[in-house]
């Protein structure tokens, strides 16, 4: 299942990359992969000005459980002076999904409030965007806990 999901994501990314056009200093939309403590697909779109919406669908597995979740983040971008194409950003959003425990095979709804803090770079001469961020989350269901392990690198094609 994970291999099929990964192959589908790579196919979509490659197709969009082939047909997208580059914008020299900025981008309106971007799609690609997010890799780190959780792997998945990310899509960013502008909301106007310095604000963007980032939608992430990812999965994660560790010794005790695995989950699939969809995250929406409202992000505010600020340029870093003297570094063209480089911005720092912060934002807030939430996640919904499901968590499955490996040992007792139970599956429960997952809900969290998420934050994000990161760096975003758009290559001037290529339809490519890189983001490195930290995405902590406060889990509201099935339990209540703070997850500070949300580091990720996103590689996206811009259009």
- Per residue in 8-56, pLDDT (tens digit) is 444 444 443 433 333 333 799 999 999 998 899 999 999 999 999 999 9
If one counts the domains in the chain, the total is 1
pLDDT tens digit sequence for 141-151? 988 999 998 99
Residue 84, both tokens? 């063209």
How confident is residue 64, by pLDDT bands cut at 50, 70 and 90? Answer: confident
Whether this model's pTM surpasses 0.75: yes
Q: What is the CATH number of the domain that holds 29?
A: 2.40.160.20
pLDDT value for 21: 34
Question: Do you find a cis peptide bond into 37, omega within 30 degrees of 0?
Answer: no
Question: Can you tell me whether residue 19 is helix, strand or coil?
Answer: helix
Residue range(s) defining the domain that contains residue 63: 2-158
């Amino acid at each position: 299942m994970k291999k099929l999901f990964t192959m589908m994501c790579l196919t979509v990314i490659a197709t969009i990359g082939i047909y997208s056009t580059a914008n020299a200093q900025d981008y309106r939309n971007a799609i690609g992969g997010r890799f780190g403590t959780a792997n998945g697909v990310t899509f960013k779109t502008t909301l106007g000005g310095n604000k963007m919406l980032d939608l992430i669908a990812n999965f994660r597995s560790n010794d005790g459980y695995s989950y699939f979740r969809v995250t929406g983040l409202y992000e505010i971008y600020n340029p870093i002076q003297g570094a063209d194409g480089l911005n720092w950003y912060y934002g807030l959003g939430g996640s919904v999904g499901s968590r499955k425990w490996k040992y007792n095979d139970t599956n429960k709804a997952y809900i969290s409030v998420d934050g994000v803090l990161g760096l975003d770079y758009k290559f001037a001469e290529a339809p490519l965007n890189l983001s490195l961020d930290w995405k902590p989350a406060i889990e509201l269901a099935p339990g209540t806990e703070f997850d500070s392990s949300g580091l990720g690198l996103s590689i996206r094609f811009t259009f």
